[in-house]
Chain A
């Protein structure tokens, strides 16, 4: 590296520092604080100088590195190795993963907290797999997926509290309702181009949330629905002291009563639901409609000229994705026993989309890895709630910039003409 280059990159870093000062100066440096009647300014110049210093240093290091062109090479070879390893052994990984998930509740270190986190991760995995049908296979960016999750949760809650039907009747009904909403929304908007679709689905998600908040007579508004029935083990409830003429789970199997029974049951419930979603996706990819989804994702015009009806094909993807969202929603409702519009904000949609995109659109294993990564990290940094979301958004940007196809890119069509030739 020549001296000229160093001076050049030094100047460049100073310029970066100037910009950073303009960015952080007013917003970070001058914090507005309400005191009594008015707003006052509390300066925080220390933080600003720290941030600006970091920016200058970071830029300088990047400049020096990019002159040598090493850093990015390392990054890309590492990641390509990573994806080739996992793609070869995807099957082994899947089997080990499922086995681990099955024995997980009985491992010695597993406690209540681990189970709760595991249930949450599995819920997101299921949502991710459901959305993967829409985003990964059919290539439709849906930013309002949480709407179907909400529809599923609310229809389960309303049916179960009004008619008192069991979980196993309400679950499919909730899925049907969610799929119906998917068709209702999809029918008019699916002929739109990708980015319009994203915004319209986002708007739809917000409409559902606003309706949930304001339609007080049915949804009980912002207070939400309480007392949603818990699921039972094929008719055996998880209660310490069952009602007259009823046998509860621990009495039937002659076990000591423990709240863990219900948690473990919920865990297996969501595990089975998620695996059904996965199995369904893997199978439907091999059917004509699954092939049509992938073909549409790759080239819509070619599909049209070959006689594929794009709107109907997209509609099936949308409805099926919505149905799985509805299943996950009813599981959420029965686990929490309480739902309110608070749980169905836009940020949930963003998290699910991030899981799918981060994992590599279309990759089932990627969704699992991304869910564990994102939710696990979130749990670890629970105390740093706000910084967590900055890191989350930043990760989305960084992954798009450095690896636009996700951790495990799987955009390979399931079948190619002329076999394995590239």
Chain B
């Protein structure tokens, strides 16, 4: 039982990270109907920017909460630039092209980003000293002590806050309204005087900043990153987006949590080696039985 609760806590933490990346996939899919294959690598870039700023601020000796806030903002800003540029260079010229063109372009972009970071930052793994230590302990008189570290609390609380801000942004502001309008009918939205290109750019910026937050959490949580982390994390986050119903924002968060839980429980109870297989198998099974995911809208094909 204690072991179960520990896995639950770990799963929710991991799920928060996946959920934040999944939002980027689902938003882009909702608005322009493509899978942004390079999104996982944007997350990786976010992790690197966070790592670099942690090292710089780590030398100054500022208090931890200020460092965290600064790193968060810096990572979001610089990673958003990457998201924006990738969209401008690789996807915007392909709007209106045949379906597979943006996907292949995204694939190329993903290869470029990965190797670009490999060249500029080196291929070796980057370890970082842990910034957080300690945590709350439960069930102290049982055999297995459940530990909820402060870092885990930080990750979950930050995710909840960001989700709150984000939901407000999408449901209540003009920007969110424009975005949802673009999802429904891009031509009509343009006719009504909304700058569609700008709205799509902002979508990429928001998605990338959320991915960079996930990247920062990843650095803190695992303490080790390399240029290749974006590939697996990206695929799992995409699985999460599909699981929750691609195009649906609460779905992305729900899917992220589910994938995080499935992965942790699989690793804890079944086998550690095959934990990545679990995520992919879930993807295949979900697509067969619920092609639209749990919270997705049914996909109606028009002639």
Contact = CB atoms under 8 A, between A and B. Distances in A.
Interface of A is mostly: helix
B284 A189 contact: yes
A396 B49 contact: no
B169 interface: no
B108 A386 contact: no
B194 interface: no
A199 B119 contact: no
A39 interface: yes
Interface of B is mostly: helix
Interface string B91-124: 0011001111111110111111111111111101
Interface string A389-422: 1101111110011001000000000000000000
A346 B280 CA distance: 14
B281 interface: yes
B303 interface: yes
Given A210-B277, A386-B115, A387-B119, 4 more contacts: A34-B126, A195-B103, A199-B283, A393-B107
Interface of A: 19, 22-23, 25-28, 30-34, 38-41, 139, 141, 143, 188-189, 191-196, 198-200, 202-204, 206-207, 210-211, 213-214, 301, 346-347, 350, 353-354, 357, 386-387, 389-390, 392-397, 400-401, 404
Contacts of A23: 78, 81-82, 85
Contact of B238 (A28, A199, A301, A353): A199
A189 B112 contact: no
A359 to B, nearest CB: 13
B127 A39 contact: yes
Contacts, number: 175
B284 A204 contact: yes
11 contacts: A32-B51, A41-B52, A141-B103, A199-B35, A199-B242, A200-B283, A203-B279, A203-B283, A207-B281, A390-B119, A393-B113
B104 A40 contact: no
Nearest to A203: B280
B246 to A, nearest CB: 9
Contacts of B280: 203-204, 206-207
A400 B283 contact: no
B85 A397 contact: no
Given A26-B49, A203-B283, A210-B276, A198 B291 contact: no
Given A200-B284, A301-B303, A31 B122 contact: yes
A397 B128 contact: no
B89 interface: yes
A394 B108 CA distance: 6
Nearest to A141: B100
Contacts of B55: 32, 39-41
B187 interface: no
Given A32-B55, A39-B126, A214 B273 contact: yes
Nearest to B97: A404
B94 A401 contact: yes
